[in-house]
Amino acid sequence: MIQKYRQAFNAAFTAEKYQQFLQELGKGFPEIPFRVAETPIFIPAALQEKLIAAGEEIIALIKQPNFKELTQKSIPAEWNVPNETGHPHFLTFDYGLCKDENGAVVPMLIEMQGFPSLYGFQTHLTHTFKSVFGIDEQLSPYFNGLNQASYFDLLKKVIIGQYEPHEVALMDLDAPNQKTAIDFFVTAKHLGIPVLALEEIKKEGKKLYYEKDGQKIQLKRIYNRLIFDEIGENTAIFEQSFDPREELDIEWITHPNWFYRISKYTMPFLQSKFVPETHFLHTLKTIPSDLENYVLKPLFSFAGMGVIIDVTPNDVAQIKDPENWILQRKVTYEPLIQAPDAGVKAEIRMMYLWPEGEEPQLCINLARLSRGKMIGVRYNKDFDWVGGTVGLMEK
C-alpha cells in the first residue's frame, strides 16, 4: 500500500525469517492456535484519513440520545444483564479494503462490536514484526500520537480504573485455553491483572471472589471477554460459578449488553458512503431481484457463522425469523496487498477505547489478510500470506 515499504519488505522476506518471527512471537506463551500472516499492512495517509472519517460517522450514531431506544431489541431477553453502563468502553469497526468507481482505495464497513478485541496482542505483534524484520521505527500501529507506553496507560485507565490490579480480572470461559489466550496473557503481563476462567469465580451474596495462594480476593471489576453465544443453552455452567444476569456487586468493563447493541444490528441505521446498503430482512417490502449482489447474515452469531454468501430466493423463503436477519449489499474486496505471487485481500479493524467521562479515542488497529471467499480462518486453510496482522502508518 505504501509502495516503498512494501517493496523493501518483500525483497528482504525469507521463509526462514518468518519462522524466526513466529518463534519470537510465541516465546513465553502457549502455542498460538490461529494463523499469523507473513507481513504487516503499510497504510497510506489517504486511507488512514478515510478510516478515521468512517469511524467518526459511526460514533456520531452511537452518541445519539436515542441510540439505546433504537437498539433495545438487539439484546436477547434471556441475555439482558442489569446495571448497564451509559456507553461501552470498547468499540471495534471492521472495514474491507475496496476500490470506488474512480479506482481509489476505500474502506467499507463489514462488522462492528461494542466488545474488546486483541488490545494487548497487537502491541506484541507490532514489536515482533519490527524486531525480526527490521521495519522502519517511524512506522506505528497507533493513532492520536500514542506510543506503546501511553497506549498501555490509557488501557490501564479503562480496564483497572480506580482499583488495584488484583481487584480486576480478565474473565472468559476456560480462559487459558481460548484461541485468543495469548492476548489475555499479554494484557495480564502489562496490566498486572489475573486471567480467570468463569468457573474460578465464586459468588457470596452479591459479591464475587477468586482464590489465590489460599486467600479469598474480592473482585470489583471484570474485564469481560465472555460471549454469551458460546454458552448457548448450557447455562448450567453458571451453577458452578455465578450468573452474570443476576444483580451483582461488580462493574463490567465493558457491560455485556453492548456486545448486542453495537453489532450487525446497528448497521441498518447507518447511512454512509463507507457502509454498504443494509436492511433488516423483515422490513423489506420486496426482495431485491439481484440477490447475487447481497449477503444474508444472522444477527445473533459471531465469527462469520451462519452467513449465506450466494443468496437465492429460496434461502430467503426458508428464514423462519426474518426479524433476526439482515440483508446486506456485497462488498468487493480488492487484492491490494502484494504478496510475492499475487495480490491479497485485506480487512482492517479500527480499535477504540472509551474511558468513563471522556470521549472515545481511536488507539490501535488489527488487520487480516485473505485469499479465500471470506476473511475467516476456515476460508483460508492451506494458503500463505493470510491471517492476522497489523496496519503500520507513518508517524
pLDDT digits (tens, 9 = 90+) for 282-321: 999 999 999 999 999 998 776 667 889 889 999 999 999 9
103 has a pLDDT exceeding 80: yes
Q: Are 337 and 116 in contact (CB under 8 A)?
A: no
Determine the pLDDT at residue 233: 84
Q: Are 109 and 1 in contact (CB under 8 A)?
A: no
Determine the pLDDT at residue 147: 97
* Three-class SS state of 137: coil
- Angle subtended at Cα 129 by Cα 41 and Cα 388, rounded to the nearest 5 degrees: 55
13 has a pLDDT exceeding 70: yes
Question: E strands along the chain, which residues?
Answer: 41-42, 90-99, 105-113, 139-140, 168-172, 195-197, 202-204, 207-212, 215-219, 221-224, 251-253, 278-280, 294-298, 325-329, 337-338, 343-353, 361-370, 387-389, 391-394
Report the pLDDT averaged over residues 220-235.
92
15-26 and 121-133 helices cross at what angle (nearest 10)? 140
Q: Give the pLDDT band (50/70/90) at residue 376.
A: low
Phi–psi pair at 147, nearest 5 degrees: -125, -175
Q: Give the pLDDT band (50/70/90) at residue 232.
A: confident
Residues of the chain with CATH 3.40.50.11290: 160-253
374 has a pLDDT exceeding 80: no
378 has a pLDDT exceeding 60: no
Cell digits for 194?
A: 489475573
β-strands 391-394, 41-42: how paired? Answer: parallel
Q: What percent of the chain has pLDDT over 70?
A: 97
* Three-class SS state of 121: helix
As assigned by CATH, the class of the 160-253 domain is alpha beta
Q: Are 147 and 140 in contact (CB under 8 A)?
A: yes
Q: What is the pTM of this model?
A: 0.95
Q: What percent of the chain has pLDDT over 90?
A: 91
Sheet with 202-204: strands ordered across: 202-204, 207-212, 215-219
Distance between CA atoms of 39 and 133, rounded to whole angstroms?
A: 9
